[in-house]
Amino acid sequence: MMETGERRVALVTGGTRGIGLGIARALARDGWSLALCGVRPADAVRDVLDELHDSVGASSGARGGEVDYAVADLASTADRARLVETVRARFGAVHALVNNAGRAPRVRADLLEATEESFEEVLRTNLQGPYFLTQRIAALMSAQKQTTPASTAAIVFVTSVSAEMASPNRGEYCISKAGLAMTTKLFAARLAEVGIPVYEVRPGIIATDMTAGVKDVYDRRIADGLIPERRWGTPEDVGRAVATLLRGDVPYATGTVLHLDGGLAIPRL
């Protein structure tokens, strides 16, 4: 953990499972206080919250770390507003926002058969939600920087190789991630003048609940050389990368896209 003299608070959306949990664990090891959100009730994630609480406490030297969880559907304008107010009331400030929460289509449908309902559901969660949550949090961070110029702040968008690689059986997902990649650029350009870096972390094929249904398919494709590193990515891989960015170990790099895909996106013959 960096010795900054201030308690650092990170809001991680979808931070109790999958990639989000990998990120939360990495930040907990660095001593960040964590504000997490998801759609599951608090009782369903109690074990995870207790684990993170102990990890933050061990890292910071405090008796028990500060970890808070709010039920929030990022597709809902009301839920986003309530989430921001809950975090403000609990912690007073936000020093990092990690836009991680997202959803896959309920049905992988061919591009010629996909429905508007699926498109709207995925886009509201994966793109509209983080876009307007970032708008709110960025305003708070900017105000913090005005009153306390030495205060740290940073934003990370977790996208996907699907931002640039086409999957015609889940077009709405690809479009949502491509839009999120542009969202990173927009906020990076807007917030640079106030000293808030914005990064995109672009994972490849990561072993999570979302990919469990296609595990056998990708096991075979990875064995056949789809990924140069010849393995699945892990939530820990992504968590360590996000923690590095939020520690400030990659300065002068706002708008950077960090590929975590084992070389999947390398053009090859």
* Active site (catalytic) residues: 173
CB 194 within 8 A of CB 175: no
Which residues have C-beta within 8 Å of that of residue 145, sequence separation ≥ 6? 151, 153, 194, 195, 196
Region class of 50: left (phi > 0), else alpha (psi between -120 and 50), else beta: alpha
CB 91 within 8 A of CB 60: no
Rg (CA), the chain: 18
